[in-house]
Amino acid sequence: MRTARIALIILATLVIGSPVTPADAQGTPGLTADEIKIGALGALTGPGYLYGRLIMNGAEVVYNEVNKAGGINGRKITLVREDDRCDAASAIAAAKKLIFQHQVFMLHGGGCSNASIAARPEIEKAGIPWVVFASVADEVTLPTAPYIFSTALAASIESAAQLEFALQQGAKKIAVISMRDAWGRARYNPLMETFKRKGVTPVADEEMSPDANDATPQVLRLRQASPDAVIIVLYPKAAAVYMRDAAKLGFKPMQIGQTALGDLLVFRDQVAIPNALDKFYTISHVRYTPEDPEMERWRGLLEKYFPNDRMSVYNIMGIASATVVVEALKRAGRDLTRDRLRDELNKLKDFNTNIYPGVITCTPTDHQCHKTPAFMLLTGDKVKTVGVATVTR
């Protein structure tokens, strides 16, 4: 008995005093000699799937092609998906599952901003690299967190770009229609600050509920102000209702949307009134549309891996963002760790994906790596890029 007790004390001393923790003994989570496990976080179901599943599909096309070519420094990429359902509670659960259950090396995802904002503290606490592919809320990357980077445009950048574009197009009288929920305020507040900075006052400033089925009061009040341009800070459904009612009432100024209305062909089908989008410009994260010849190769690959997907701008966003992830992983080298990946992302300067309108540049103090929105216009059945802006935050 006494001998057993002494043995136990010695064993306990050895374990407590040992510098080797169980985690160290296993190595970096999600990383083996031949595999890098990447966790994809986003909406797989529900209305937010555009900003989740479709983007993930685009990213997975890139990862599949990289794997086919031998992987990154000898390691193949495995993409593990979790559904955040575009809501806060599910996002936290999904992030935890990816980090602690699947034990991924890094995260590549974040579609709906509210979900990403909710998941951010958990992800930050875990010290896991996270490259955001679509969430635009500034709170996702501000304040700057060591391991969180974004290849999506930020709401404040888009809002500033909308006003810049209106002014560049010669608009003198500019009106605003917006939603004032959390998503809308994240854009509306920076937009109003930009108006102030430019010394411009909106001639009308109307509000619309996300669930509204009728925009008659809004359109009539805007029409009374006779604006040259209307800046639209609305989610797709509300925007479609607004554009329908604007068309019915013959209200046709220049209308300037944002990335939530990034797929003009889908938006045109939703509005479903001929010529309603004649003077409708929107912002896109990416330079190209699915029909552009430059996207032909990617279109073919998407059809091969995801036959049910009709290529959309969201797939292209995933392709572009995954290109950045792959580049950073390559640069981090064979001795890959989370810290090395972070360091390479911090050093990424003027990286041209050939898909984003501008270059990708991250710095240690600014992890908002994409600052160049493209403006698109639908002409007939063709979506054209009509301008590119670089906006600082």
Residues 6+ apart with CB under 8 A from 111: 42, 43, 48, 50, 51, 52, 55, 84, 86, 133, 134, 135
221 near another protein, judged by CB under 8 A: yes
CB closer to another protein out of 18 and 213: 213
- Give me the helix-helix angle, 155-168 and 182-198, nearest 10°: 40
Site map (CB under 8 A) of another protein, residues 166-205, x = contact: --------------x-------------------------
Binding of residue 90 to another protein (CB under 8 A): no
Return the number of the residue (238 or 328) whose C-beta is nearest another protein: 238
213 makes contact with another protein (CB under 8 A): yes
DSSP for 121-167? HHHHHHT--EEESS---GGGTSS--TTEEE-SPPHHHHHHHHHHHHH
Give the integer Cα–Cα distance in Å for 103 and 95.
Answer: 10
Paired tokens of 30: 């999600």
**139: contact with another protein by CB under 8 A:** no
For residue 130, the one-letter residue type is: W
Which C-beta is closer to another protein: that of 211 or that of 381? 211
Report if residue 93 touches another protein, rule: CB under 8 A.
Answer: no
Q: Which of 45, 101, 201, 352 binds another protein (CB under 8 A)?
A: 45
Contact flag: residue 211 with another protein (CB under 8 A): yes
Residue bearing tokens 């969201």: 314
Q: Which of 35, 87, 122, 207 binds another protein (CB under 8 A)?
A: 207
By CB under 8 A, tell whether 266 contacts another protein.
Answer: yes
Indicate the DSSP class of residue 204: E
Closer CB to another protein, residue 231 or residue 391? 231
Range 333-392, binding another protein (CB under 8 A): none
Note the helical H segments in the chain. Answer: 2-17, 22-26, 53-68, 88-96, 113-126, 155-168, 182-198, 216-225, 236-248, 264-271, 296-305, 313-332, 338-347
- Strands 280-284 and 374-379, how do they pair? antiparallel
Q: Give me the residues paired with residue 176 across strands.
A: 205, 231
Is residue 214 a contact point for another protein (CB under 8 A)?
A: yes
Under the binding rule (CB under 8 A), the answer on residue 224 touching another protein is: yes
First to last CA, the chain: 70
Nearest to 43 by CA among 117, 94, 107: 94
Choosing from 76, 185, 237, 331, the residue that interacts with another protein (CB under 8 A) is 237
Query: With contacts defined by CB under 8 A, how many residues of the chain interact with another protein?
Result: 31
275 is a site residue for another protein (CB under 8 A): no
233 binds another protein (CB under 8 A): no
Counting contacts by CB under 8 A, is residue 206 touching another protein? yes
> Smallest distance from the beta carbon of 243 to another protein, in angstroms?
11
Which listed residue (11, 100, 172, 269) binds another protein by CB under 8 A?
269
Tokens for 139, please give them. 């709170």
- Answer yes or no whether residue 272 interacts with another protein by CB under 8 A: yes
Binding site for another protein (CB under 8 A): 45-47, 50, 180, 206-209, 211-214, 216-218, 220-221, 224, 236-237, 240-241, 248-250, 266, 269-272
